[in-house]
Amino acid sequence: MLKYTLKKKCGHARLGEVRTDHSTIPTPVFMPVGTQATVKTCTAEEVAETGSKILLANTYHLYLRPGHDLVKRAGGLHSFMNWQGSILTDSGGFQVFSLDSLRKISDEGVLFRSHLDGSKHMFTPEKVMEIEMALGSDIAMCFDECAPYPSDHDYVAKAMERTYDWAKRCKAVHHHEYQNLFGIIQGGAFEDLRKISAEQITSLGFCGYGIGGLSVGEPKDKMYEMLEVLDPLMPEDKPRYLMGVGSPDCLVEGVKRGVDMFDCVLPTRIARNGTVFVREGKLVLRNATYAEDHHVIEEGCGCYACRHGYTRGYIRHLLKAGEVLGIRLTTFHNLFFLQKLMADIRLSLLEDRFDDFYKDFFARYRF
C-alpha cells in the first residue's frame, strides 16, 4: 500500500517520498504520460533511463482500446507494458468531458460516444473503479467532473457537488490489494468553492489528493492563487497531485505552493513538433536558424541525445525529413530535462536553498 513521508519543508515547498508496491518515488515528482500504455516513441526502459519512477496511463483510452479486461488477463498494466515502476491511472473524466457534443452528463454518470467509432458507452463512478482495478495501477483517481474554463459559479458549484457525490461512490466500491485511491478537489477558479471541495474530499480519507480543474485555460496567476488557497486545507501527511501541469515554470511555482506530484503530455507533445526545453526556456529546432548548428541541444545535459553528440542541425534534418529518430531524440531530451529539474529542486530543498533556486531559475528562464 502507499506510504507518504514528508521529510522537510522550505516555506510551503515539500520534500518527501511516496512508496508503492512497485517503487519508491522521491517528491516533488513529474510523471510522464503514457496515455495508451506507452510514452510516445519510447520503450519502458528508455523512460526509466530518464529518471522516471512513475508514469500515468489513461483509463478512457485503455477502456476503449484494447479493453480493461484484456489488460487484466495480461497480468495488469505493469506486465502488459513491461514497466517496472509505479503507475497512476487517471479516471478518464477529463477526456470524457472534453468530448463536449459527444457526451451527456447526469448525476448517474456520463453517457458518451467513442471518438474511435461513435459507439455509446456509460461511465459511472462504479464503472470507472471497475476499469481502474482491472488495469491494476498503483494509484487510481476517482471519477470527477472537470468544469471547463471559463464557467459561471453555479455551474462549477454543481460540478463540485457531483464530484463529491461521485467520490463517495468510488470509495464505497473500490477494493484492490495494492491499488491506492486518490480523491480530486474541484471548484474551478472560485476560492469559496475550492475551500468547500477541499473540506468535502479530504473528509473522505483518501490515500492522496488530486487538484483538478486547473491548467484548463485559466491564467497562470489564477492557478497559483487557487494553490495558495488549498495549501493549508490539505492534509500534510498525504501526497498532493496537481493534475495536467508540466511546463518548467509551472512545476517550480507549483512546488513553491506545496505540490508533490505533477503530470502532463506537454514534454512529449512539443517534442513531436521539434520543440525542446533548455535552461533559458525553449528552442524550436525546426526553425531554419538551427540548420547549421552543430552544437548538442544543451551543453552539459546528460540525456541520451546530448550525451551521444546528436546536434541541433542533425535533429532538425531528421524532423524535416519525417524521420522517427528525430522525435525520439527530442522526447528523450525533454523527459530527461524535467526529471533533472525535479532532482535539482529536491536537492535545493534538502540543502535549504529552495528560495535561491527559485530566484536563479526565473532569472534565466524565458517563457
44-80 per-position pLDDT tens digit: 999 999 999 999 999 999 999 999 999 999 999 999 9
Per this entry, what is the length of the chain? 367
Across the chain, what does the average pLDDT equal?
Answer: 97
Given 21, 90, 100, 221, the catalytic residue: 90
Distance between CA 78 and CA 20 in Å, rounded? Answer: 13
- Per DSSP bridges, beta strands 120-123 and 275-278 are unpaired
The grid coordinates listed for 172 are: 464505497
8-25 per-position pLDDT tens digit: 999 999 999 999 999 999
Of the candidates 187, 189, 88, which has an alpha carbon nearest to the alpha carbon of residue 137?
A: 88
90 catalytically annotated: yes
What confidence category does residue 92 fall into, taking pLDDT thresholds of 50, 70 and 90? Answer: confident
**180 forms bridges with which residues in the sheet?**
139
Query: For residue 97, is pLDDT > 80?
Result: no
∠ Cα 114 115 117 (to 5°)? 70
352 catalytically annotated: no
Alpha-helix residue ranges (DSSP H) falling in 210-323: 220-230, 248-256, 266-272, 304-307, 312-321
Given 221, 263, 352, 356, the catalytic residue: 263
Predicted TM-score (pTM) above 0.95: yes
